[in-house]
Structure 1
């Protein structure tokens, strides 16, 4: 009993000594250390930077933001087709290239006639709306006149006579060769020409139609092989 009692006392003393020592150890740490949590450690350092950074990032930097997908380019607007003009350009005359004067000037058989029309001042009239039918002498027909006659007719002082002769070749209507009937046909000059037909052959006074129905925008041309002279000359 005495031995067990002594052991019990020894154990109590040991426990009390350990308690005093534990208190002394704790009491021996500086107050600053206790306030910094040395006795109560902070959570694991793996929860703090740089260990909590996302993979592939540099410590101390903000994780990169995923790039925005590029916007698809807008298709270019197709250019608007230009509007066609509704009126002809200023100064343009409809069918100007196809009127009687233009066709005569473009035909190599009517060079003398073209010069005569210009000398007589009839180009503007025969470029008008018409309609006209012109029995047009060819260059060979004018060449059949006396040599000095044509030169005299083209002189300015003989202009009125030239106008009288040329207008005797013009009918104030569009008449195709198939529409010509035997008989007299009134001309712009005032006197009539005498038309004869025989099958497909047409004669005007003593001139023969060598090329009929040259179509113009303001009438028709019938080429003849002689110059017509008014009866009162």
Structure 2
């Protein structure tokens, strides 16, 4: 890598030091990810070791929060009010911490549901819930339960009433609804929830989803470390302003 005080570096040299292509470096400069490089009289860009440092930070930041958000943060910490720039970085740590908390909560919920299933007695007719009762118990809207039914995530029973029919949720459907709540809270998309429920029917294979959540928690840890690595450089960029 170039010395920390190196100046007058060519685009090709920066590309070799960072692993980015020459065109990618030009694009990242245009997006404000790195500071604007001065030009020589012949029009060639002149970079310094700071540009290399910032590109390495951007790579870690992209791992942590994705390239779109990384570009936004690298650009905005250079232009927002100095007092606001540290908050931009701090918010990334907060969001990753919340993401980890949601995954841990989902894992605990699945373990609890599995434990309950292992000790459940044979269900009776009184163990069912109406759509209103279940929505209140889960903290969701009745329209949400109807949407989950449409997506085949939760399957209520239909019982005849004077007005036609009504939904009743037996223990199996209640359990599925609780699993959906847990997985959605952890950031699972509807197709992901559907695949997880396919494995979890009758709780025959809950370990599959637990392993997926463990992998997600490990991934969040790796992304957090990448954010910490980038943070030292981001602090320098902010301080130099």
Tell me the TM-score normalized by structure 1: 0.22
Larger relative helix fraction: 2
- Higher relative CO (Cα under 8 Å, sequence separation at least 6) belongs to 2
Larger relative strand fraction: 1
